[in-house]
Amino acid sequence: MTGPFESTPGSQGGLGSRLLGRKARGAAARDIEALLAGSPELAAVTGDRVRAIATEHGLEMSRLQSQCRDLYRRYLEFCLVDRALSDAEVADLTHLREILALPDGVASEVHEEVACAVYGAAVDEVLSDHRLDPDEEVFLQSIRDGLNIDPDSADRTLEEGRRRARQRYLSTVVSSDDILVASQEIKLEIAGSSEESIEGAVSDALVEASTVLPGLKRVELTALEAEIAGGEVGRWHVKLKAVLDKR
């Protein structure tokens, strides 16, 4: 299999390699990776063969834990491209953990890190419109369940995603005249449009704003335009200004 692994071998083991320390670990890791890349399937790679590579470089497997952790992480990320783990992938990951002599605690830590990163990317995706619809909540829950993410970690990741969405929104609506760094206020310029009415245009402008900024209570209509087609209004455009307290 190739997957996330590359088949570039390290330097030959022996006394020279043993004397190099860090280089020996790097060379051993590359040889192990080349072994994984060149095998038709992970199940065909044995722990004895992996340990033999470490021995060739004068190393115990315990001295390769950081490098093996990286290999395990990369394979887990490869498996989670589709945001789910199949039974076959779970079996491969279990086997990989065993042949790399990776402690269960380290493997669990890697799983939590990668799973939360995958979940975080999904959160950013569904919050691209700054809203979390019922179907999107079900979608996120399915990822949490499928990846067995700790509920507290999932909640933190979701909250971080909400903060990122809020910052993305604010970056697009902060007024250009809000230049006083010491000011305790943020001035926002919000645009909206509607084919139906001025009120519809205002509502359109407030859809995202009220979701991202639930504390928004009052806005000022600063600009009103109308597109004319055939002597009639084809679309209304409005600009609103709001002021938020930074504190």
Longest Cα–Cα distance of the chain, Å, equals: 89
Place of tokens 């004319």: 228
- Under a CB-based contact definition with an 8 Å cutoff, are residues 246 and 185 in contact? yes
Q: What is the pLDDT of residues 205-234, one digit of tens each?
A: 888 777 777 777 788 888 999 999 888 899
pTM of the model: 0.70
- Under a CB-based contact definition with an 8 Å cutoff, are residues 212 and 203 in contact? no
For β-strands 232-245 and 220-229, DSSP reports them as antiparallel
pLDDT higher at 49 or 174:
49
pLDDT higher at 210 or 28:
28
User: Is the pLDDT at 9 greater than 80, yes or no?
Assistant: no
Within 13 Å, how many C-alpha atoms sit on residue 115's CB side?
23
10 falls in which pLDDT band (50, 70, 90)? low
For residue 174, the tally of other CB atoms under 10 A from its CB is 14
- Give the single-character DSSP code of 176: T
Q: What is the pLDDT of residues 97-141, one digit of tens each?
A: 999 999 999 999 999 999 999 999 999 999 887 778 889 999 999
Superfamily in which the 185-245 domain is placed by CATH: Flavin-binding protein dodecin (3.30.1660.10)
Q: What ranges make up the beta strands (E) of the chain?
A: 185-194, 220-229, 232-245
176 falls in which pLDDT band (50, 70, 90)? low
- pLDDT at residue 167, rounded to an integer: 78
* Rounded percentage of the chain residues whose pLDDT exceeds 90: 55
Domain limits, the chain: 15-102, 119-172, 185-245
For the ranges 31-35, 41-45, 63-67, 219-223, the lowest mean pLDDT is seen at 219-223
- pLDDT at residue 20, rounded to an integer: 54
d(CA 73, CA 167): 30
8 falls in which pLDDT band (50, 70, 90)? confident
